[in-house]
Amino acid sequence: MSDWANLLLRWLHLFAGILWIGQTWLFMWLDRRLEDAVENPDGQLYMVHSGGFYVVEKRPGLETMPKTLHWFKWEAAVTWASGLALLVVVYYMGGLLQEPDAELPQWAAIAIGLALLPIGWIVYDSLWRFVPPRVATPISWLLIVGLAWALAKVFSARAAYLHVGAVLGTIMANNVWQRIIPAQQAMVNAIREGRAPDLTLGVRAKERSKHNTFIVVPLVMIMLSNHFPTLTYAHDQAWAMLGGLTLLGWAAAWLFRKAT
C-alpha cells in the first residue's frame, strides 16, 4: 500500500508542479515581453502555437469584469498538498527521517519538520517585506545554506535536504495564496465596485511570482538529489554543495530570463 501511495503521490506532485511552474514562467515571460516590446505600444503580443495564432494583451485594469475570469491557483495548492503527503508517507511513516542511531525521539523529529514549514514562511515573508532586495537576496541564500547545515544535525542526510525543499515549496505556495491571490482579488473587487484598482498590489504580486521562478530552481535540484546522492545530500559538505548549486541555478535562471 505504501508503494502505491508513494507512486501515485509522486505522479500527482510532479504533474501539478509542472503545471504550476510552467504557468508561472510563462506569465513572467509574457509580462516582460509586453512591457519591453517597444514595437507593440498597444500592449499586445502575437504568438503561434498548437496550429493557431494567439494575441495576448495586458491591461492594468478593466472597466467591467468579464463573465469568465481565469485564475491560476489550484496547481499550487495541489503541488504543496501532495508534497506534504509525500513527506509524511516517505519520511514520517517510511522510516527515513532519522539515522538508525538517532537519539532524538521520532515524534520530536517530526514536530521539528512540521514546525519548519510555517516558520520558514514567516522568516522569508518578513525578510522580503522589510529588507531591501539587495540585502535580502544574500540573506536568503545564507538561510538556505544554514538550514541545510542545521537539519543535517537532526535528520538523516536525505531527509535534511528534502526538508529544505519542503520549506521552499511552502514559501512558494504561500506566496500564491497569501500574497498573490489576495492582491489580485482586491483588484478584482475594486473593478466590480466601480473603483480604480490599486496598481501597487499588482506590482507586489508580480514580485512574489518572480521570487517563485527563482525559488523553484534549488527546489527542483533537491527533488533530483535522490538520483545523485554523492554530489548532494551524501557529500561530506552537503550544505556547501546545496549552496553552490543554488547559486549556479539562480545564475542560470537569471540568464534564461534575460535571454528570453
CA–CA dist 55, 44 (Å, integer): 7
Q: What was the pLDDT predicted at 145?
A: 97
CA–CA dist 255, 260 (Å, integer): 9
Q: What was the pLDDT predicted at 64?
A: 83
- Extract the residue ranges of the chain whose pLDDT is less than 50: 37-38
Q: What is the pTM of this model?
A: 0.92
Q: What was the pLDDT predicted at 259?
A: 77
Q: What was the pLDDT predicted at 3?
A: 84
Q: What was the pLDDT predicted at 216?
A: 95
Reference 136, options 210, 69, 199; nearest CA is: 210
Q: What was the pLDDT predicted at 30?
A: 87
Q: What was the pLDDT predicted at 1?
A: 56
Q: What was the pLDDT predicted at 208?
A: 95
User: Taking the mean position of all CA atoms in its chain, how far away is CA 187?
Assistant: 23
Report the amino acid identity of residue 219: L
